[in-house]
Amino acid sequence: MHVPGEPRVPVTIRDVASDAGVSVATVSRALSGNGHVGPATRDRIAEAARRLGYQPNDLARSLHGGATGTIAVLVPDITNPFFPELVAGIQAVANEQENLLLLCQTGEDPTTAVRELRHLRRKRVDGVVLVGGLPATDDLGAAVGDLPVVTVDRDAGWPASWSVRADHRGGGRMATEHLVELGHEQIAHIAGPAALTVAQERLAGHREALQASGIEPDESLVVHGDFGEAGGYDALRTLLRRRREFTAVFCSNDLAAVGALRALDEAGFRVPDDVSLVGFDDIHLARYLRPSLTTVRQPIHELGRRAATLLLEAAVGSRPEQHDVLDVELVRRDSTRPVRRGR
Amino acid sequence: MHVPGEPRVPVTIRDVASDAGVSVATVSRALSGNGHVGPATRDRIAEAARRLGYQPNDLARSLHGGATGTIAVLVPDITNPFFPELVAGIQAVANEQENLLLLCQTGEDPTTAVRELRHLRRKRVDGVVLVGGLPATDDLGAAVGDLPVVTVDRDAGWPASWSVRADHRGGGRMATEHLVELGHEQIAHIAGPAALTVAQERLAGHREALQASGIEPDESLVVHGDFGEAGGYDALRTLLRRRREFTAVFCSNDLAAVGALRALDEAGFRVPDDVSLVGFDDIHLARYLRPSLTTVRQPIHELGRRAATLLLEAAVGSRPEQHDVLDVELVRRDSTRPVRRGR
DNA sequence: CTGTTAGCGCCTTCAG
DNA sequence: CTGAAGGCGCTAACAG
């Protein structure tokens, strides 16, 4: 079956030109909109292009030196629900501006990131959104080179750069303040990987809130997870094994809270009756957990939109270096309640 | 700050050639590996390339007619956890073969898909993985043209094509058979969108199992959702409003089960004591729900791997048309139990 | 083994 | 307003 208008043999601008009885230059002008072309010829060319099923070759177009209309996003792990929501935001902006989006996964591994970055440069992408909590290294900066980069939740570290991030420290503070206000004093924290700055900042916020309330931070109530369900589950079991009392847990992200919830359940603790639980991120799932999860909401989609917007402007050189911090907000749901005294 | 080896001004093969004192052809051969080059010159060229921070321009390379080393995947909604797991599988294979992956979202909208496809063809991607449950249309076939396409969970419908899918009908049957074996006779079904073939097939399997057991399918126990948490939640409330007895619910996907679980909870039903619940997909989350979710496991990651493998082979013309169906498997967890008689 | 020479498909001066 | 010609960066014959 040959579908009309979708040729099996690539048709070039030359075919259109000869079909319309004009030169390639005229076709180029007519189709790209640059330069003036008589209305009559213009129509004739459009018609010929349509009939032949001509599709301009963007490779040749970009080769000339222009933009490629393609940006890339590097995320640690697309399987973590936080990232798809972020990517969706980036994608939305990219599409609005007729850009395509390349997806790369780094697993938070600097070596992989460097390799991907090199590949992307060879492909001449217009820019990259770099997501992840690892601090910037020289290697990374070198691999980036002159590529416009917007980082999300990550320290920049190289000269010209743009970044957008949420207020992780403030969020950590809010989560713990909320628990303190409910009367909790023994508050455990399931942190993220110690190497990630976002995890460090949320932890720092947690400690600040504790100290501000005159509660001495207890190191044995802090366990590091991996930002995944399994990590949260294991972390909570570690906590249990330590046999230190706690009436609330602040999880560094919602996914860890899912695992913690399960571990608490298996151990016979009920949320929020026996222990209160707070998450971070407010992924879609949070409101559907039982109990629904009190959490610190990041404007995930907006983070993505903002990053992509900055990037696309940076790529055309119309935007000086800029570092945005977006506010977070506590969402009170059913996983937290006032502490039950004297048990 | 100028990072050595990462030039601000694009360095071309010509720069390397003159720096190494050879012709561009030799540099091309030395760097791409095709054709023989003397070891001495080879080293000299490699050294020059490294020092100058030369990055081959893949646009020019591909313009010559070769592959672009880029494939694309079109998914309905990256925010649904099923798709990231699938995309991860595709990505894994793509990366192994030094390919980049373009991510597009269609929202199951044919018009959007057609637009994206056209864009992808202009970019000369080597192939496309088309994911989604909508039946193929002529429009889509036309937009695909001569682009190698592997469909996942979707009817092909155009001439040369490859597809991979899970056994949805068989899975639907397994889910319901499991419930029947547990003694359930009033089994509700929260289906997916009626327009999607995967939803239709799971529903068909459900009915088959019912009939095979001599249970008359009851249309009022079937509600269509949207494959999201909200859809599952609403669907279950609809079911409740109908005031028909049921002791078990088979949800067409895990995400809907999350919503159903919550709605049941709010209505005072306990899972699995009052009603048993079965999902479909076995996304990561399923095992972390409380109770953990009995579900029909699709080999999601493998579906992705298979699709990408087929595509990459199809793209180089080394693989004839092929349609794979992967097996699914029932995973028994804690959300199902024998029916409680005489309540 | 290496250099020279054509293009790949398109855009963009520069003339006409 | 339109055509002819050069070149983007690279690869692939074809000669030496």
End-to-end C-alpha distance for chain A, whole angstroms: 76
Specify the nucleotide whose C1' lies closest to residue A44 (CA).
Answer: D2
Structural domain contains residue A86 = yes
Q: Is the domain of B223 the same as that of B211?
A: yes
- pLDDT beyond 80 at A156: no
Burial A134-143 (b: 16+ CB within 10 A, else e): bebeeebbbb
Residue A114: its pLDDT value, please? 94
Residue B6: its pLDDT value, please? 45
Rounded to the nearest angstrom, the minimum Cα separation between A209 and chain B is 30
Question: Which residue in B6, B99, B138, B161 has the most chain A C-beta atoms within 10 A of its own C-beta, making it the best mutation to test that interface?
Answer: B6
Query: What's the domain count of chain A?
Result: 3
Instruction: Enumerate the residues of chain A whose CB falls inside 8 A of the CB of residue B53.
Output: 145
> Over the stretch B233-243, which tens digit does the pLDDT of each residue have?
999 999 999 99
Instruction: Enumerate the residues of chain A whose CB falls inside 8 A of the CB of residue B147.
Output: none
Q: The domain spanning residue A221 has which CATH number?
A: 3.40.50.2300
Instruction: From residues 42-101 of A, list those within 7 angstroms of strand C by Cβ.
Output: 54, 56-57, 60-61, 63-64, 66
Residue A6: its pLDDT value, please? 45
Q: Is the domain of B179 the same as that of B266?
A: yes
- pLDDT beyond 70 at A184: yes
Q: β-strands A248-251, A294-297: how paired?
A: unpaired
Instruction: Enumerate the residues of chain B whose CB falls inside 8 A of the CB of residue A158.
Output: 1, 3
Give residue B9's pLDDT band: very low, low, confident or very high (50, 70, 90).
low
**How far, in Å, is the CA of A28 from the C1' of nucleotide C8?**
17
> Over the stretch B193-229, which tens digit does the pLDDT of each residue have?
999 999 999 999 999 999 999 999 999 999 999 999 9
> Over the stretch B128-153, which tens digit does the pLDDT of each residue have?
999 988 888 888 988 998 899 999 99
Long-range contacts of B2-6, Cβ-Cβ distance < 8 Å, separation of 24 or more: B3/A138, B3/A141, B3/A142, B3/A145, B3/A158, B4/A142, B4/B53, B5/A142, B5/B50, B5/B51, B5/B53, B6/A142, B6/A143, B6/A144, B6/A145, B6/A146, B6/B53
* Strand D at less than 7 A from CB of B63: yes
Residue B343: its pLDDT value, please? 45
Q: Is the domain of B290 the same as that of B304?
A: no
Alpha-carbon distance of B133 to B152, in angstroms, equals: 8
Alpha-carbon distance of A121 to B55, in angstroms, equals: 7
Q: Is the domain of A75 the same as that of A41?
A: no
* Strand D at less than 7 A from CB of A1: no
CB B48 within 8 A of CB B16: yes
Give residue B342's pLDDT band: very low, low, confident or very high (50, 70, 90).
low
Instruction: Give the range among A300-304, B51-55, B80-84, B210-214 with minimum mean pLDDT.
Output: B51-55
Structural domain contains residue A193 = yes
Q: Is the domain of B117 the same as that of B178?
A: no
Radius of gyration over alpha carbons of chain A, in Å? 26
Q: Compute the Cα dihedral for A307, A308, A309, A313 and give only its sign.
A: positive
Domain that holds residue A125: 70-166+300-325
- Nearest residue of B to residue A98, measured between CA atoms: B119
Alpha-carbon distance of B229 to A285, in angstroms, equals: 8
Residue A287: its pLDDT value, please? 95
Residue B16: its pLDDT value, please? 92
Q: Are A79 and B284 a contacting pair at CB < 8 A?
A: yes
Residue A243: its pLDDT value, please? 94
Structural domain contains residue B2 = no
- pLDDT beyond 70 at A17: yes
Q: Are B84 and A85 a contacting pair at CB < 8 A?
A: no
Q: What is the DSSP string of A94-150?
A: HHHTT-EEEEEE-TT-HHHHHHHHHHHHHTT-SEEEEE-SSPP-HHHHHHHTTS-EE
Residue type, B43: D
State mean pLDDT over B306-324. Answer: 93
* Strand C at less than 7 A from CB of B63: yes
Task: Report phi then psi at B40, rounded to 5.
Answer: -65, -55
User: What is the token pair recorded at B44?
Assistant: 């000299």
Q: Is the domain of B35 the same as that of B74?
A: no
Q: Is the domain of B232 the same as that of B90?
A: no
Structural domain contains residue A44 = yes
Structural domain contains residue B338 = no
- pLDDT beyond 90 at B296: yes
Nearest protein residue to D11's C1' (by CA)?
Answer: B64
Question: Which residue in B91, B93, B102, B123 has the most chain A C-beta atoms within 10 A of its own C-beta, making it the best mutation to test that interface?
Answer: B123
Alpha-carbon distance of B312 to B319, in angstroms, equals: 9
Judged on CB neighbours under 10 Å (0-12, 13-18, 19+), A175 is buried
Residue B328: its pLDDT value, please? 98
**How far, in Å, is the CA of B26 from the C1' of nucleotide D16?**
15
Task: Report phi then psi at B305, rounded to 5.
Answer: -60, -45
Give residue A284's pLDDT band: very low, low, confident or very high (50, 70, 90).
very high
Q: Are A229 and B103 a contacting pair at CB < 8 A?
A: no
What is the percent of chain A with per-residue pLDDT over 90, rounded to a whole number?
A: 81
Question: Which residue in A236, A288, A292 has the most chain B C-beta atoms within 10 A of its own C-beta, making it the best mutation to test that interface?
Answer: A288
Q: Is the domain of B80 the same as that of B149?
A: yes
Q: Is the domain of B89 the same as that of B47?
A: no
Share of chain A residues as helix, strand and coil, in percent rounded to the nearest 5: 45, 15, 40
How many CB pairs below 8 Å do chains A and B form together? 169
Alpha-carbon distance of B16 to B25, in angstroms, equals: 11
Judged on CB neighbours under 10 Å (0-12, 13-18, 19+), A36 is exposed
- Between A160 and A237, whose confidence is greater? A237
**How far, in Å, is the CA of A295 from the C1' of nucleotide C10?**
53
**How far, in Å, is the CA of B62 from the C1' of nucleotide C9?**
11
DSSP H/E element including B240:
helix B229-242
Q: Which nucleotides of C are covered by protein (CB under 7 A)?
A: 1-5, 7-13
Q: Which nucleotides of D are covered by protein (CB under 7 A)?
A: 1-5, 7-13
Q: Which residue has the tokens 């249970």?
A: B215
Minimum-distance CB partner of A145 among B6, B87, B145: B6
Specify the nucleotide whose C1' lies closest to residue A40 (CA).
Answer: D1
Q: Is the domain of A41 the same as that of A76?
A: no
DSSP H/E element including A176:
helix A168-181
What is the length of chain A?
A: 343
CB B85 within 8 A of CB B30: no
Residue A8: its pLDDT value, please? 52
**How far, in Å, is the CA of A235 from the C1' of nucleotide C9?**
58
Alpha-carbon distance of B165 to B323, in angstroms, equals: 8
Q: Is the domain of A292 the same as that of A261?
A: yes
Q: Are A259 and B288 a contacting pair at CB < 8 A?
A: yes
- pLDDT beyond 80 at B156: no
Q: Is the domain of B184 the same as that of B226?
A: yes
Question: What residues pair up with B296 in beta bridges, in sequence order?
Answer: B280, B330
Q: Within 10 A of B208 (CB to CB), how many other CB atoms are there?
A: 17
Instruction: Enumerate residues 6+ apart whose C-beta is below 8 A from A36.
Output: A29
Structural domain contains residue A334 = no
Q: Are A290 and B261 a contacting pair at CB < 8 A?
A: yes
